[in-house]
């Protein structure tokens, strides 16, 4: 069975600092990998995804993530945090063999950005 | 191009009552998913459809929950005899298969059971 672990339920950074949100997955075969962001009282918005090809994936709002098969990781980074990045971030996986199918989410990481 | 819409956005009900939620997916999407999210947790899969066929249902879903997608367009999720533990945000998402699995989420329906 697939599972996702996000290390750290809450991360706090200063504005302009590096953002690093960690995600590790467990799956018998490399799955599709996603990062979603959820702002207060809003739906989930896709930041980026990895399906195939280049393992460094660039997304919206300056975020990127790197798929590392050997480490079963898909960590999310942003070089310089902005106040507007404060939100809840979810890592998710889905079954490659089912052309996607259901998403399995991690428990989420709340990002706070200090001025 | 409109996104995924859900109705109602908020629902307050008394324990034991039945509730029904509606989801309208992006029009050309053939897959529709339901998830439940409780405070401080990631969304949890409930069920999904491809066109009108219900392809998977979570084992965690009790018999009080039922979902339909009768014409392969909108979907309804019904909860019978609601319990306080059903209080959560119910999220709907849609996708176009086979295109690598990206799902587009609606704003959710927040259910409060008193």
pLDDT in tens, chain B (114 residues): 579 999 999 999 999 999 999 999 999 899 999 999 998 899 999 999 999 999 999 987 889 999 999 988 999 999 999 999 999 999 999 998 876 668 999 999 999 999
Interval A33-61 mean pLDDT: 92
CB of B18 closer than 8 Å to CB of B77: no
**Would you call A105 exposed, middle or buried from its count of C-beta atoms within 10 A (0-12, 13-18, 19+)?**
buried
> pLDDT tens digit string along A23-37?
999 988 888 999 999
User: Does residue B26 belong to the interface with chain A, where contact is any CB pair within 8 Å?
Assistant: no
The pLDDT of residue A53: 87
Closest Cβ opposite residue A42 in set B41, B100, B107? B107
Q: Which residues of A touch B44 (CB under 8 A)?
A: 105
Rounded to the nearest angstrom, the minimum Cα separation between B13 and chain A is 20
User: Does residue A100 belong to the interface with chain B, where contact is any CB pair within 8 Å?
Assistant: yes
Q: Which residues of B touch A97 (CB under 8 A)?
A: none
CB contact under 8 Å between B56 and A101, yes or no, is yes
Q: Which residues of A touch B56 (CB under 8 A)?
A: 101-102
Residue A83's pLDDT band (cuts 50, 70, 90): very high
CB of B25 closer than 8 Å to CB of B92: yes
CB contact under 8 Å between B48 and A101, yes or no, is yes
CB contact under 8 Å between A100 and B48, yes or no, is no
Residue A100's pLDDT band (cuts 50, 70, 90): low
Query: Which of A99, A108, A110 to mutate to probe the B interface, most B CBs <10 Å?
Result: A99
If you measure CA to CA, which chain A residue comes closest to B3? A43
Burial per residue of B19-51, b for 16 or more beta-carbon CB atoms within 10 angstroms, e otherwise = bebebbbbeebebbbbbbbeeeebbbbbbbbbe
Which stretch of A12-16, A78-82, A107-111, B37-41 has the lowest confidence by average pLDDT?
B37-41
Q: Is the pLDDT of residue A8 over 70?
A: yes
Q: How far apart are CA A25 and CA A71, in angstroms?
A: 9
User: Does residue B62 belong to the interface with chain A, where contact is any CB pair within 8 Å?
Assistant: no
Which stretch of A37-46, A105-114, B98-107 has the lowest confidence by average pLDDT?
B98-107
Partner residues linked to A11 by β-bridges:
A111
Mean pLDDT of all residues in chain A?
A: 92
């Amino acid at each position: 069975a697939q599972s996702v672990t996000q290390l750290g339920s809450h991360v706090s950074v200063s504005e302009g600092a590096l953002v690093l949100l960690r995600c590790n997955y467990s799956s018998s075969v490399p799955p599709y990998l996603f990062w979603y962001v959820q702002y207060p009282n809003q739906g989930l918005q896709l930041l980026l995804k990895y399906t195939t090809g280049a393992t460094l994936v660039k997304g919206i709002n300056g975020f990127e993530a790197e798929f590392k098969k050997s480490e079963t990781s898909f960590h999310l980074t942003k070089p310089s945090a902005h106040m507007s990045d404060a939100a809840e971030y979810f890592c998710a996986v889905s079954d490659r063999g089912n052309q996607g199918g259901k998403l399995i989410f991690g428990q989420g990481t709340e990002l706070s950005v200090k001025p | 191009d409109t996104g995924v819409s859900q109705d109602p956005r908020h629902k307050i009900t008394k324990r034991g009552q039945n509730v029904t939620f509606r989801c309208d997916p992006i029009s050309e999407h053939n897959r529709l998913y339901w998830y439940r999210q409780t405070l401080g947790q990631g969304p949890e899969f409930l069920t999904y459809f491809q066109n009108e066929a219900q392809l998977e249902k979570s084992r965690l879903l009790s018999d009080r929950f039922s979902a339909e997608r009768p014409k392969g367009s909108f979907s309804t999720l019904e909860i019978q005899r609601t319990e306080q533990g059903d209080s959560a945000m119910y999220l709907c998402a849609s996708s176009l298969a086979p295109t690598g699995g990206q799902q587009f989420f609606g704003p959710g329906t927040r259910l409060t059971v008193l």
